[in-house]
A and B are shown apart, each in its own frame.
Chain A
Amino acid sequence: MNAALAAAGRRPIETTIFAVLALITLLALIGPLITPADPILRVDPPFCAPSLAHLFGTDDVGRDLLSRVIAGVQITWLLSLLIIALSAIVGGLIAALGALAGGWVDAGLDRLTDLFMVIPSTLIAMAAVAAVGPGLSHTVGVITVFWWPWYARIVRAELRSVAARPHVEAARVAGVGGLRLMARYMFPAALPTLLVTATLDVANVILVLSLFSFLGLGAPPPTPELGAMTARTLVDLTTHPWIPLIPALAIFVMVLAANLAGDALRERMEGL
């Protein structure tokens, strides 16, 4: 415990960043338990300025803005993590399958990855969501479809470099092969890179999710999505600026924290 505190004292900025990240995650996990009001219910007249009664004020419908922002953080943060997890799993499995099979299977999967990487994924994803209809599950599914290739490419490169390392060669000479070689010796070596990439990617996914909801391609109203909350109340920017700005600020804090945490993690990994 003391050692951990001492380490934290040595790296105060990193510690703060990870603390913010932990706070966001905690907020996302227990948000519904601590929101002061139901984010869907009207609690007071619309456009109440921030006060002790409503720390972030009320929105244009009279809902508690703090409660809606907490619910919005929950949706955005957890969905971002879900998309990254799904993308990493799909991408990692495709890369592992290619590395295991080799030959034309590897080449074919690599071309498939190339194909997904060269198309303008965000635009296509928007078109796809617009076609199938807005909704959280549609958004998550479509973004994941276009997000995994980056992970496949990174894991594949990492597995190729790991394959030439002495301990993998030794394992192979000792008769370890196939799935066991991948699971025991190769994939764990690629995991740190995958983790850093995923951490750095959280910010990108948050921005894409916010963009989708800003454009009305997220969950249907009145789901408290941060991008949609900002987009819908932009006309109030001059008269009741807190209503569009606070959700935008929440996006900014999440993106900044995720980016800085990714950087810090990468530096740590490179230092190892």
Chain B
Amino acid sequence: MSAMAKTIGLILLMVMALATPAAPAPPQRVLKVAYADDVVSFDPDNAFLLYGLEALRVMYQGLVQYEPGTTRVTGWLAQSWSVSPDARTYTFRLHDGARFHDGSPVTAAAVMAYFQRRATPTLALSYFLDNVASMSAPDRLTFVIRLRSPQSTFLDRLASPWGPKVIGPGALVGHAGGDLGGSWLNEHEDGCGPYRLTEFSRGYRYVLTRDPDYWGPRPYFDRIEIDIVPSISQQMLMVRRGDLDVMMNGYPFDQLAHLPPDLRATGFDDLGEEMALVNPWHSLKDRKLRWAVLTALNPAGWLADDFDGYATQARSLYPKAMIDAPRPVVFPGDLAAARRIVAAHGPVHLQIGYGAEEGATQQRTAELLVSALARIGISATVMSMPTDQEPGLRDFPQRAPDLWLARNYPDAAHPGTQADVFFETGAPLNLFNYSNPSVDRLIGAAGQITDRAARDRAYLAISDALFADIAFIPLADIKDVIVYRADLTDLGTRPALPWGVDYATIRRR
């Protein structure tokens, strides 16, 4: 063969090689989701996350967790546990073979070192362990916690999405700095979950990548890409266009019936009940007026056509997923009497406030309440404020809104966590400083009850007392709605995990 022929042959081969389509790359298993707001910190001990909570729980793991779809506590890093007869000692037996992302094994000593960090009072979530008297690690896989006094909420606090999630020594020792690793942990992680945090671009995107050395079942997706998309309208367009696989909250209820065929919606009861907190410090000082307001706000009068079937009237001051009350609270129904009270009182103008984080739903609910109040002659306006400023209302109740619409999430599925956070005297989200010693006594007594049915009855009695005082008004159980591509399944939603799917179980069909 001449040199010319060889050259031509070579050129032809090269052209053919270039023209032949490359073998298709195996489809990358990527799940695309979006948050409407940024994640302040991925430190599991120092941030009250709503966005990012579901990501945190696949980077880190705790001793126990809630089973998907229920509020039953099940093992996680702990394969079993036992409670001493005096209900003060909890002994956890850890899974063997679990490893942190720094490569070190998950041992009882490592878990104890982490729990000691978690109990540090300077960390925002240290109060989860404020009843812990001591901890020990008698052997490699046994971890023991001794409480100061029996605490019926303790196991639920450990299973809480904000509960302790074990951090490895790579962070606690290697990146301790002067703040227990806090600065490093804002944007990095050292957990033992099925995903690692491989990209943290604040305000823009986070990427989780499957950990090939994960000790448990291998999740379906290789990567979870989380973009920050503040506009709900834009998120809706993205999920309709296929640029997002899951929209975890904010899809307007009235549009769920108009989803395109390649999208599905699922609603589940979470622990966030819609309630109104009544401010008795200025316009609503008069109990008669509060009664009139209560009459007007009866959800039976405004809830039926809204939320497209994704909401039901609340039956007590506990979300349905926490206690499904056998008999609902009864609102007064005499609108004419309510009108007379308002007319006798003179002009009443109220302000209804809500936290901005769930803006669209809350504003609509607030405007429904304005309309309901107008029926008895009360005028009202609506205002929103950043959610993180809510606790500040306690300092200025005289200047705070008259009614505060809240869909706050308690720490865990135990009703004691609801009472401790919202209802008890001095509770952190008891925004209008409600205080009733007899209710406090009931809360204290209910916290000692271990039998579930008896416990629920005790907490329902507290709900009745609060409702009778017209201090808190239960309005609605509004479902958490997740819109997702139709080929996805095993979403793994949990009542105690607001706005989230389980990345460890979700997969394509």
Contacts and interface: CB of A to CB of B under 8 A. Distances in A.
Given A62-B305, A221-B382, A222-B367, A40 B254 contact: no
> Chain A at the B interface: mostly helix, strand, loop or mixed?
loop
A203 B373 CA distance: 36
A160 interface: no
Given A60-B254, A239-B258, A40 B381 contact: no
A153 interface: no
Contacts of B367: 61, 221-222
Interface stretch (A115-123, A164-172, A228-236): A228-236
A138 interface: no
B302 interface: yes
B382 A222 contact: yes
B419 interface: no
A63 B364 contact: no
B383 interface: yes
Given A221-B366, A221-B382, A235 B371 contact: no
Nearest to B360: A235
A100 to B, nearest CB: 45
B366 to A, nearest CB: 7
Contact of B371 (A41, A232, A239): A41
A236 B232 CA distance: 12
B13 interface: no
B382 A220 contact: yes
Contacts of A236: 252, 254-255
A42 B254 contact: no
A61 B233 contact: no
Contact of A47 (B254, B368, B370): B254
Contact of A222 (B233, B258, B305, B381): B381
Interface in A181-238: 219-223, 232, 234-236, 238
B143 to A, nearest CB: 48
Contact of B374 (A41, A46, A220): A41
B252 A42 contact: no
A129 to B, nearest CB: 14
A235 B381 contact: no
Interface string B231-242: 011001000000
Identify which of B255, B258, B371, B382 gathers the most chain A CB atoms within 10 Å of its CB: B371
Nearest to B380: A222
Interface residues of A, number: 23
B433 interface: no
Interface string B359-380: 0100110111011101100010
Given A221-B363, A221-B382, A239-B258, A62 B252 contact: no
Contacts of A54: none
A235 B240 CA distance: 13
Contact of A61 (B232, B371, B375): B371
A114 interface: no
Contacts of A9: none
A241 B360 CA distance: 17
A108 interface: no
Given A45-B305, A46-B306, A222-B381, A60 B371 contact: no
B339 to A, nearest CB: 14
A42 B369 CA distance: 10
Contacts of B371: 40-42, 61-63, 222
Given A221-B382, A222-B381, A38 B364 contact: no
A266 interface: no
Contacts of A41: 371, 374-375
Contacts of B255: 235-236, 238-239
A235 B232 contact: yes
A230 to B, nearest CB: 13
Contacts of B232: 235
Given A46-B306, A235-B232, 10 more contacts: A40-B374, A221-B382, A222-B367, A222-B382, A232-B363, A235-B233, A235-B252, A235-B255, A236-B252, A236-B255
Interface of B: 232-233, 236, 252, 254-255, 258, 302, 305-306, 360, 363-364, 366-368, 370-372, 374-375, 379, 381-383
10 contacts: A41-B371, A46-B305, A47-B254, A220-B383, A221-B381, A222-B371, A235-B252, A235-B255, A236-B255, A239-B255
Interface of A: 38, 40-42, 45-47, 60-63, 219-223, 232, 234-236, 238-240
